[in-house]
Amino acid sequence: MSPAPCCYAVEPEGTQPLAGLAVTDPRHLLQGAGYGIVPPLWDPSLVDGTLAVSDDEAGAMRHRLGAEEGLYVGYSAAANVVAALQLYDRGLVVRGATVATVLCDTGLKYGLPG
């Protein structure tokens, strides 16, 4: 594996047009992602791949981040953390690699975790 930085796009499971897949589940909790279209400025040459995250995975991570880390985030931010962990689980990065992601919302519209 190359030590160079890599970049992955996160999409809702079942709504993965960036991965070139047909939309099989347009209803998902991950707002701001996977609207079933490829954005007009999307350049696939800038990413190393895509990762899909289910609503259940994002929901569980949202609660975990709140309980264990004190991070009050929404489903999209939690999905980013799930995808970051997938990089390790799938062997897409070497153990010990630094992985960065964006926690892109506050979770205020979802109510308190728990």
67 is written with which tokens? 């309980």
85: nearest Cα among 51, 46, 54: 51
* Residue-level pLDDT at 39: 86
* Residue-level pLDDT at 27: 82
By residue range, what is the domain housing residue 63?
A: 8-105
- Count of positions (residues) in the chain: 114
- Torsion angle of the four alpha carbons 67, 71, 75, 81, in this order, in degrees rounded to the nearest 10: -90
Name the pTM for this structure.
Answer: 0.86
Number of structural domains (the chain) is 1
* Residue-level pLDDT at 68: 95
Residue at 37: amino acid letter: I
User: What's the pLDDT tens digit per position in 26-84?
Assistant: 788 787 655 778 888 999 999 999 999 999 999 999 999 999 998 888 888 999 999 99
Residue 98: give its domain's CATH number.
3.40.50.1100
